[in-house]
Amino acid sequence: MIKIYSGSDVDKKVRDIVSQEIFFDKKKEEQVRAIIEDVRTNGDAAVIKYTKKYDGAELKADEIKLTSKEINDAYKNVGDDYLRTLKTAIKNITSYHKRQRADEWFETLPDDVILGMRNIPIDSVGVYVPSGTASYPSSVLMNVIPASVAGVKEIVMATPPAKNGKCDPHILVAAAEVGVGNIFKVGGCQAIAALAFGTETIPKVDKIVGPGNIYVTMAKKAVFGQVGIDKLAGPSDILIIADEDSEPEFIAADMLSQAEHDEDSAAVLISTSMSVAKKTQKEIMKQIKLLKRSRIAKASIEKNGCIFVVDKLKKAVEISNKIAPEHLEILSSPPQNLLEKIRNAGAVFLGPHSPVVVGDYLAGPNHVLPTSGSARFSSPLSVYDFIKKQSIVGFTKPALRSMLPDIKIFADVEGFDAHARSAEIRFKS
């Protein structure tokens, strides 16, 4: 059963949550690095070997890349309702991300000095989409659409096959609908390594994005520097702020919606009402029995779930900002009163009719969010993650002459005489 904390126990439990570290098992990390090195050295042969070992699928080199026939067949295995829903989601997500395009700027200063900033899309991106215990077509949309809006020229996708060598049709159709032409049947560490270094079949990319299990996350960490990555994603989490008028049935359902992701997922409620806390506690135990993934949700709730009862909403906001949740629901009324005080949260959902699930799928904002407290310094995945900034500097001779004394002072302080000379030499005559 989920535990309720009040009084002095609240601050102690909050400290425990905040002090938790993202832990990478050294033995697993060694396994990951060995797989990466094997793929880097042996290319397709290593990919085929690990696909058989971990996914149970026996592939030949010419079967790693999906054919147009396989993608067309996928359409036959999804319903019309799914296609309609998919198109609605694509429309909403695209509309939201189109608002993120940042303008370039240039300015002319005295002595005709030109300064500016250019936006240049990354050339190529690899999107990893997990499959197996669940299907994640929404992850296809959330990772591909902002890259497309940013203007990325080449977007490829990797997703693991089932034992029969086929990929999830819902994932394939989602990829086709957002224009991904190159899709590869590969998952896990071997997929990340293949995208980072390239193989005979799979192209090397400049950045890798997309969720995955602990092995995928460790692989992304290991190849960072060789390629860019979106973030090191931990388990999903949710924090809910509620008052005495909040509905325990809604709260319990929303907490379980994230708990069903993974046994390491976290669900936290902060309420100003002990009555709401106790009713939510009972609702969680009642609703958890109805879930298909009840075992996972129960393990998550027992391990990482908790309920805090505090005297004032001000204290609830203080705790929330310390925990820095991935998803924050404000169910106190009116929710807008607390919004400006929220500094650390990946996404904020306002009011009783804005459950996280609407943001997961259809609202438009990205559902790839900072986890494990990283909302203190990180942001949702966006168009900006697929654009490089380029500084522009253009000086005239008079402008450089006017700065020469200050250049020489800095160079002298830092002990770099060649720095000073590179400016002075232009006025030697």
Position 20, amino acid? Q
**Of 154, 152, 158, the residue nearest 128 (C-alpha):** 158
Angle at the Cα of 241 (from 361 to 271), degrees rounded to 5?
Answer: 140
Residue identified by tokens 């969680």 is 284
Is residue 148 within 8 Å of 155, Cβ to Cβ?
A: yes
**Of 387, 330, 327, the residue nearest 102 (C-alpha):** 387
Report d(CA 424, CA 418) in Å as an integer.
10
Residue identified by tokens 């999107």 is 127
Strand partners, 182: 156
Cite the active site residues: 326-327
